[in-house]
């Protein structure tokens, strides 16, 4: 169950060899930015930062299709040192979250907790089942998870289909759990409805309100509907699925049942079928002020268009709580119709650099700013 790649010389040699296989020189970034291979992690999806101090820290990584969870230890200079395999054989363990020394892992119908994990990276403990009451369907069953400012664990449950009218108390929603209470308190409480499949969310630092990505339905053509960036400042909002897409497009099968005006419109329409996944507010100071408190989004890339789009890191600029621009920050993983990488998540390290998980290339990259501020 457990394997550790240790020894700085071995890790450095392996990473240099791996970097030569990845055409990072083709990645396009704004002037002053640089990208490097940070670590090799099989099928890297969601990332979560563990304990860290002046001596270094730990990054946890879920691997969806690989069924694994990894830990990457880094030093005081934020250089990855070694990669440990914490668990394997799990069902689509995309989501990881860290709180009070414990690692939480989403595995479709279950949330697992690995206690005091950083003291046991070499011999991980048996997991505690936080809940096993989530739906068992694997269609949109993988989950991005994170703790909110209220201390609760937010857990999305995607629609078990492309387009259907599922039970709104069970599917197409984002729920939250009180993981500190007893079993009776761990029943999911629906926070937002009408969410087809969210695989990324974060809280705006100034307002402490929830923002999330949502993947639009398929089989409506190359250019409709858009993926969405949504803002849910309060519980109980409905974002349209399956009746309305993108805020103004009635669904041809279910749209007659409810008008689009009944639902919350996207804060920002994203590209159609770009598969917007992990998103984070930029909370660091390494990047120029232009980027601070703005949203970075990992666009995994389309599989269902005549010509592929996405495969990039996009930036949504905000003014207060209003989105005012949607632009490309990093691209180059897609060349023509061939992709050599697929961004799946982003995460800001304490030094202000930006990590990018790539599940297709099995890599985590680190983007730094070296130009004039």
SS3 state at 163? coil
- State which fold the 3-19+33-369 domain adopts: Neuraminidase (2.120.10)
Token pair belonging to 358? 């790539």
Question: CA Rg, the chain, in Å?
Answer: 20
Express each pLDDT in 68-109 by its tens digit. Answer: 999 999 999 999 999 999 999 999 999 999 999 999 999 999
Question: Whose CA is closest to 225, among 234, 233, 215, 235?
Answer: 215
pLDDT of residue 184: 55
Q: Mean pLDDT check: name the lowest of 13-17, 47-51, 206-210, 255-259.
A: 13-17
- Whether 34 has a pLDDT exceeding 80, the answer reads yes
Task: Give the count of beta carbons closer than 10 Å to the beta carbon of residue 336.
Answer: 7
The arithmetic mean of pLDDT across residues 160-170, rounded, is: 96
- Whether 241 has a pLDDT exceeding 70, the answer reads yes
SS3 state at 186? helix
pLDDT of residue 230: 98
Q: pLDDT-based confidence at 21, cuts 50/70/90?
A: confident
pLDDT of residue 181: 72
Question: Whose CA is closest to 211, among 107, 299, 323?
Answer: 323
SS3 state at 61? strand
Q: pLDDT-based confidence at 10, cuts 50/70/90?
A: very low
- Which distant-in-sequence residues (6+ apart) come within 8 Å of 94 by Cβ? 45, 46, 62, 63, 64, 106, 142, 143, 144, 199
- Whether 219 has a pLDDT exceeding 50, the answer reads yes
The pTM assigned to this predicted structure is 0.94
% of residues, the chain, pLDDT over 90:
91
Question: Whose CA is closest to 96, among 68, 66, 55, 138?
Answer: 68
SS3 state at 24? helix
Express each pLDDT in 293-351 by its tens digit. Answer: 999 999 999 999 999 999 999 999 999 999 999 999 999 999 999 999 999 999 999 99
The arithmetic mean of pLDDT across residues 220-237, rounded, is: 98
The arithmetic mean of pLDDT across residues 155-166, rounded, is: 98
pLDDT of residue 292: 97
- Whether 153 has a pLDDT exceeding 90, the answer reads yes
**Spatial separation of the C-alpha atoms in residues 171 and 154, rounded to whole Å:** 14
Q: Where are the domains of the chain?
A: 3-19+33-369
Residue 60 pairs with which residues in a beta bridge? 48, 71
Give the chain's mean pLDDT. Answer: 93
């Amino acid at each position: 169950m457990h394997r550790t790649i240790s020894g700085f010389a071995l890790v450095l040699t392996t990473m240099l060899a791996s970097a030569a296989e990845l055409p990072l020189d083709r990645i396009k970034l704004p002037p002053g930015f640089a990208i490097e291979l940070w670590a090799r992690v099989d099928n890297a999806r969601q990332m979560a930062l563990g304990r860290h101090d002046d001596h270094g820290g730990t990054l946890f990584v879920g691997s969806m299709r690989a069924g694994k969870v990894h830990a990457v230890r880094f030093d005081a200079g934020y250089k990855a040192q070694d990669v440990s395999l914490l668990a394997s054989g799990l069902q689509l363990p995309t989501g990881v979250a860290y709180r009070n020394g414990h690692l939480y892992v989403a595995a479709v119908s279950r949330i697992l907790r690995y206690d005091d994990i950083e003291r046991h990276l070499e011999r991980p403990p048996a997991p505690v089942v936080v809940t096993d009451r989530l739906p068992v369907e694997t269609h949109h069953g993988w989950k991005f998870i994170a703790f909110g400012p209220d201390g609760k664990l937010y857990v999305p449950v995607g629609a078990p289909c492309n387009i259907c009218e599922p039970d709104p108390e069970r599917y197409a929603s984002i729920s939250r759990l009180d993981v500190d209470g007893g079993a009776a308190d761990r029943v999911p409480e629906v926070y937002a409805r009408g969410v087809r499949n969210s695989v990324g969310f974060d809280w705006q630092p100034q307002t402490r309100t929830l923002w999330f990505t949502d993947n639009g339905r398929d089989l409506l053509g190359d250019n409709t509907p858009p993926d969405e960036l949504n803002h849910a400042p309060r519980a109980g909002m409905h974002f349209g699925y399956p009746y309305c897409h993108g805020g103004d497009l009635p669904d041809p099968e279910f749209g007659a049942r409810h008008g689009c005006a009944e639902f919350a419109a996207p804060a920002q329409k994203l590209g159609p079928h770009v598969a917007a996944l992990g998103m984070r507010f930029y909370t660091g100071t390494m990047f120029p002020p232009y980027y601070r408190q703005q949203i970075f989004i990992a666009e995994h890339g389309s599989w269902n268009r005549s010509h592929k789009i996405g495969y990039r890191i996009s930036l949504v600029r905000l003014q207060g709580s209003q989105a005012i621009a949607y632009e490309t920050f990093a691209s180059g993983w897609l060349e023509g119709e061939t992709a050599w990488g697929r961004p799946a998540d982003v995460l800001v390290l304490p030094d202000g650099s930006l990590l990018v998980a790539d599940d297709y290339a099995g890599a985590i990259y680190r983007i730094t700013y070296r130009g004039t501020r």
